[in-house]
Amino acid sequence: MAKSVPVFLLLLLAAGCQPTPSTLPTNRNLSADFKKYWYSGQAEVNSYLLEQSRYGETRAGTAILIFVTEDFSKKKQVKLDHPAEAGDDKISVLKMNFTKDFITGIYPYSMMLSAFTPLSVHSHSLKVSMSSQEWCGQVYSQLNQTHAGYQLRSHSYFEKEGDEEIMIKETWLEDELWNILRISPGDLPIGKFDLIPGLFFSRLLHTPLTVTAAEATLLKEATRQVYSLNMPSLERSLSISFENQSPYKIIGWEETFQERGKQVTTRATLNKTLLTDYWTKNSNAFLPLRDSLGLSR
């Protein structure tokens, strides 16, 4: 006898939204060690020594990776002000805040990216946002998960980019892979798959954000793992090194791509780590904590 098809699958198919194994609502099995570390009421703040390629030259800078759990609204896709009152709208996510600061000649770049990945279920990230500021102007891009795919809203001071609102099919996001390897490296996509490239890359290279073919490997060594991602059509690769044991702290990364007719490399190396509820440390009395991260005042 043929097996019956679950009702939620029939509804998705009727709506023209074919589910894939990566988007089915199956529960994650979070370990006790995971919950002890990530639900401690603190964030993990990591500073990195950054070598950022821009305009074909290497620029010294600083990168910060902050990972923290939050109660998130599934409907509004924002942090909940009153989680206890949210009911079924509440979902626990791992949030990554990723910043880059570097100087190009006389003027500075300040970039920030945030990714929000569900913890209770296997699902692609609900939202990714990115902003970039430098003396020429500023840009902002945001991806939101919808039933029809990812909705991209993008605003730029460049005429050819301008204001944009498009739909992109739901598939793997480069920007969510950083969260997934922190949650469970075994859930990272391996082999060939479709990928939406990172918003930092799209911004800096002025590349339209479209699905591209990617191929990935995961190399396990004695003390670390290396996740390597290759995007042939973009002539770009990314490798992320992280510790071999939970909580899989990111040691550094290296990115190669074409810029101004030559292959260039951006890399970052872990400098300092601090576990702290940083949102309560906004008094001048806490300025010395920046020294703990190797950051200037």
d(CA 124, CA 110): 27
- What pLDDT score was predicted for residue 3? 42
- The domain in which residue 48 lies consists of 32-271
- What pLDDT score was predicted for residue 103? 97
- What pLDDT score was predicted for residue 161? 87
| b/e code 173-188 from CB counts within 10 Å (16+ = b) | bbbbbbbbbbbbbeeb
- Using an 8 Å Cβ cutoff, are 93 and 69 in contact? yes
Q: Which residue has the tokens 């989680």?
A: 83
Cis omega (within 30 of 0) for bond into 247:
yes
Is residue 17 situated within a structural domain? no
Tally of domains within the chain: 1
Is residue 223 situated within a structural domain? yes
Is residue 281 situated within a structural domain? no
Is residue 122 situated within a structural domain? yes
Strand duo 163-168 + 107-118: pairing: unpaired
The dihedral formed by the CA atoms of 103, 104, 108 and 109, expressed in degrees to the nearest 10: -90
d(CA 78, CA 260): 38
- What pLDDT score was predicted for residue 297? 65
* Amino acid found at 224: R
d(CA 102, CA 104): 7
- What pLDDT score was predicted for residue 20? 33
Phi, psi of 291, rounded to the nearest 5 degrees: -60, -35
DSSP 58-106: EEEEEEEEEEEEEEEETTT-SB-S-GGG-GGGEEEEEEEEEEEEEEETT
Strand duo 236-243 + 163-168: pairing: unpaired
- What pLDDT score was predicted for residue 4? 43
- What pLDDT score was predicted for residue 182? 98
d(CA 29, CA 77): 23
d(CA 7, CA 216): 34
Tokens for 233, please give them. 């059509």
> Can you give the pTM of this predicted structure?
0.90
Query: pLDDT truncated to tens, each residue of the chain (297 aa)?
Result: 444 444 333 333 333 333 333 344 578 889 899 999 999 999 999 999 999 999 999 999 999 999 999 999 999 999 999 999 999 999 999 999 999 999 999 999 999 999 999 998 999 999 999 999 999 999 999 999 999 999 999 999 988 888 999 999 999 999 999 999 999 999 999 999 999 999 999 999 999 999 999 999 999 999 999 999 999 999 999 999 999 999 999 999 999 999 999 999 999 999 999 999 999 999 999 999 999 999 986
Is residue 185 situated within a structural domain? yes
Is residue 191 situated within a structural domain? yes
3 state DSSP class of 6: coil
Is residue 144 situated within a structural domain? yes
Q: Which uninterrupted H or E stretch holds 37? A: helix 32-38
Is residue 163 situated within a structural domain? yes
